Amino acid sequence: RCPRPALPILRWLPRYSRAWLPLDLLAGLAVGLTAVPQALAYAELAGLPLQYGLYSSFMGCFVYCFLGTAKDVTLGPTAIMSLLVSSYAFHDPVYAVLLAFLSGCIQLAMGLLHLGFLLDFISCPVIKGFTSAASITISFNQVKNILGLQGIPRQFFLQVYETLRRIRETRAGDTVLGLTCLAALAGLRAMKSRLSQAAPAEPLAVRISYLIIWISATARNALVVLFAGLVAYSFQVMGSQPFRLTGSIPQGLPALRPPRFSLAAPNGTVPFQSMVQDMGVGLAVVPLMGLLETIAIAKAFASQNGYRIDPNQELLALGVANVLGSFVSSYPITGSFGRTAVNAQSGVCTPAGGLVTGALVLLSLEYLTSLFYYIPKAALAAIIISAVVPMFDAGIFRTLWRVKRLDLVPLCVTFLLCFWEVQYGIVAGVLLSGILLLYSIARPPIKVSEGAVLLVQPGSSLHFPAVEHLRGSVCSRALAASPPRSVILDCSHVSSIDYTVVVGLAELLQELRSHGLSLAFCGLKDPVLQVLLSADLEGFQHFPSWEEAEQCRGAELGGSRAEPFTSTAEST
C-alpha cells in the first residue's frame, strides 16, 4: 500500500474531478455571500473596528483548504468567539491580534502533542449551558443597536438595566428597520427549511423558481444588508438619515506584519508580559473553545455525510490558521456552524470551495468597503441575533430532567455564571463535571449477594479513591453477618487496578484473616491477574468463576456445596 499523504490536500487534489468544480464554485460563492455581512456584524460584537471582521475571514479559508480533513467545514469569526474576544481583548485590536497568535500557538502545540483528548473533559451540559447563555447575552447585546441606543455598557446586568432605563430614547427608524430585517431573516430561514428539492424531471420554470428561492434563502444575510443599505442611501440622498450607520471602513488589504508584542500607552509602554497577564484565563478559554467548536462541527458534518476526520489534524489546521491570521490582523477564528451548513447544503465536494470564499472576502476588502458606509447598524444587529437565537437549547433542561437530573447542576451553574463572566461559568461548569466524574470513580457501584459466603461485585474498574469504600463495604457486611462469612470478590467488571488498590486489597486480606475469614478472587482479567500475582499477596487465591470459588468455600465450611445466594444488596 502507498503511504497516506501527510498533507490533507494531497489526499483529494490528485483525484479532483472537473465535475466537482461548479459545485465547489457555487458553494464558495454562497458561503462568501454569508461570510462578508457576518464578518462586519461579528466585528461589531467583538468591539473592534468593522474591517477586522473581514481581516479575520479569509486566512482560515485558505489554510483549511490545505490542512483540513472535512470538506464542509469553514473557518472564520463566529458569534461565540467574538463574544470571548470582546471579554479578553478589551476592544483593542492589538490585544485581539495577539490573542489570535497566542491561541494559535496553543492549538498548534496541542495538535502536535495529540492533546485533543483534553476537550473530552468538557461535558455536554457545560457546553449547552455556555452556548445557551451566550445566545441570550449576544442577542441582548444587539438590542441597543436595534433600538438605536448609544453608550450602553457591555456587562450583561448593567446592559439590561441601562437599556430598560433608557427605553424612551429609542430611535424609531432603527427599531423599524431592525425588526423588519429580523422578520425577513426569519422568513427566509423558514422558507429554506421547508423548501423541497426540485426533481430533474420537473419543468424548467419549476427548477428555475427553486434555484431563485434557494439562492435568496441561502444568501439572506447579503440580501438584508443590501436592502438596508439601499434604504439608508435613499434617505441620505433626500437629506435625512434616521439610522445609525456603520461609517467609513478603510479600503484595501491588511498589511502583512507580525502581531505587536507591546502596546504604546499614554503613560509608557505595556510590555508583552503585562499584556499576557491582562488576557489571563482567556489564553486557555479562547483556544479551547475554538478547538471545541471546530471539532464538534467537523464530527457532526462528517458523520452526517459519511466520511471520517482526523481530530489532531483539525487542531493543526486551526492553530496554523490563527497563527498566520494574526499576521494579517485577524482576531481568533474557529469553525462556523452556520457557514458550514451553507457549504454542505450547497453541495461542496472538496475544501477547495474555501478558496472561492476567501477570494470573495479579499475582493470585498479591495473594492467594496466604500459601499459598507451605508449599512445600518440595526441590520447588522439583526444578522447577529438571527445567527445566535438557534443556539439556545431550551429542550436540554427537560431532557436532562428525564435522563439524569444530576447533570442539571453543571448545566445550570455554567448557564447562570456565564451571565456574570464567561470564564467563571466555563471554569465552574468544568470543575463541577470533574467532581461528579471523580465521585463516580471514588464510589463505584458495589453489588453484594448473600449466601453461605458473600459475593461482592464491583461495577467498574478500581482506582485508588475507591479502595477505602470497597474495604468498608466488604468488612461491614462480612463481619456484621451471623456468623461472619468469607468473601468472594468477583472482578469480572474490573479491567484495571493501581498500586494503591493492591495495597488496600492486601490490608483487606489481612483484616479478614485476623477474624478467621478468607477472601478469594474470581473472574480476574489478565491485566488485573498479572498485577496481583506480581504483588505476591499473602493468602491470595483466585478462581476462573464464582461458582468454583463458592464450591471451594463450601467445602471448607462443611464439606459440601454452599447454599445458593438468597438476597442482594447495592452499595454505592
Would you list the DSSP string of 354-372? Answer: HHHHHHHHHHIIIIITTGG
What's the CA dihedral at 391, 187, 139, 280 to 10 degrees? 50
Each residue's pLDDT tens digit, 183-235: 999 998 888 778 777 677 778 888 888 888 888 887 888 889 899 999 999 99
Question: What is the pLDDT at residue 558?
Answer: 46
pLDDT bucket at 109, cuts 50 / 70 / 90 = very high
Query: In 10 A of CB 192, how many CB atoms?
Result: 16
Question: What is the pLDDT at residue 309?
Answer: 82
CA 567 centroid distance within chain: 46
Question: What is the pLDDT at residue 557?
Answer: 46
Range from 377-381, 450-454, 473-477, 508-512 carrying the lowest mean pLDDT: 450-454
CA nearest to 382, candidates 183, 173, 160 = 183
E strand or H helix that includes residue 28: helix 21-46
Contact 35, 339 (CB under 8 A): yes
Range from 217-226, 396-405, 546-555 carrying the lowest mean pLDDT: 546-555
Average confidence score pLDDT of the chain: 87
Contact 314, 298 (CB under 8 A): yes
Each residue's pLDDT tens digit, 316-339: 999 999 999 999 999 999 998 888
Residues facing residue 269 across a β-bridge: 264
CATH number for the region 446-556 comes to 3.30.750.24
Question: What is the pLDDT at residue 553?
Answer: 56
Greater confidence (41 vs 556) lies with 41
Rounded CA separation 32/28 (Å):
6
Range from 102-111, 174-183, 497-506, 537-546 carrying the lowest mean pLDDT: 537-546
Mean pLDDT of 371-393: 88
Contact 413, 425 (CB under 8 A): yes
What's the CA dihedral at 56, 62, 63, 66 to 10 degrees? 170
Question: What is the pLDDT at residue 2?
Answer: 52
CA nearest to 89, candidates 247, 285, 245 = 285
Grid cell locating 142: 444587539
